[in-house]
Amino acid sequence: MITRIESTQNPRVKQWKKLQTKKERNKTGLFLIEGLHLIEEALKYKAYVKELIVREGTEYSLLDARDIDIFEVTEDIMNTISDTETPQGIAAVCGMKGPTPINIATAKLLLIDNVQDPGNLGTMIRTADAVGMDAVILGEGCVDLYNGKVIRSTQGSLFHIPIMDGNLDVWIKRLNVIGVPVFGTALEGARNFKEIEPHKHFALLVGNEGNGVDPKLLKLTDENLYIPIYGQAESLNVSIATGILLYHLRG
């Protein structure tokens, strides 16, 4: 069914716009995605797509979108609900996934502590997907997964692998008990990552852009790794470091 909406004061438009806030997303369990590519990924990976929002005059073709309510809106409305400067012609309201059971004894996990830049978090999720990680656990202080920029930076990977909020302290202790090695990242008291052999199962723990991983968590790991800096840079971007370490540890 296609419904046309022309006023930015329409209650549904106001509702969509509210999804720009984390509070509203958490209250409703819904979030907004923009652009055909992300919507295709959502449909392909069986995410719950509740509503499609199409700017008048936008041509698109989507498989498997038969049962979804479609709203045709004006350019003004699309600009209102979008969090980008140049909105694409199509958006969708999706439902968050519940927690996914994973067998952590045979898993490869990325644990993320307090990463605040949306582009970094999204790119790290995309990289974790690419390297075949089984899940990503978002610890305290991480930017919200359903932030528009995070979603865009994942390039669809948020629909591919389980991503969960979690208490990293609890997660690491649980991994310790079942013998899955946990590698932290640190600048001091750490080993050059190149000395570590690839692992079939492991967890990598990475942290905040400025301060790195919480020292309390670093005390719980099996080993902490560093990436040598050969030039004058003070450090690597956290998403770059994550990519280098994941591809090394996976082997």
Nearest to a second copy of 197, 234 (CB atom): 234
Strands 163-165 and 135-138, how do they pair?
parallel
Q: Which is nearer to a second copy, 186 or 217 (CB)?
A: 186
Site for a second copy in 10-29 (CB under 8 A): none
Instruction: For residues 249 and 110, give the distance between their C-alpha atoms in angstroms, rounded to a whole number.
Output: 11
Segment (H or E) for 34 = strand 30-34
Query: CB of 91 within 8 A of CB of 33?
Result: yes
Could you tell me what percentage of the chain is helix, strand and coil, using 3-state DSSP and rounding each to the nearest 5?
A: 35, 25, 40
Distance CA 84, CA 153 (A): 13
Q: Which residue among 133, 137, 180, 182 contacts a second copy (CB under 8 A)? A: 133
Choice between 77 and 124, CB closer to a second copy: 124
| CB 163 to a second copy: min, Å | 13
Q: What gap in Å lies between CA 31 and CA 131, rounded to an integer?
A: 26
| Interface segment toward a second copy; rule CB under 8 A; list 12-20, 77-85, 118-126, 212-220 | 118-126
Q: Is 103 in the site for a second copy (CB under 8 A)?
A: no
Secondary structure (3-state) at 212: strand
Angle, CA of 139, 141 and 144, to the nearest 5° = 85
Pick between residue 30 and residue 47 the one whose CB is nearest to a second copy: 47
Q: Which stretch binds a second copy (CB under 8 A): 11-19, 138-146, 153-161, 171-179?
A: 153-161
The residue within the footprint of a second copy, chosen from 155, 196, 199, 220 (CB under 8 A), is: 155
Binding site for a second copy (CB under 8 A): 45, 119, 123, 126-133, 153, 155-157, 160-161, 227, 229-237, 239-241, 243-244, 247-248, 250
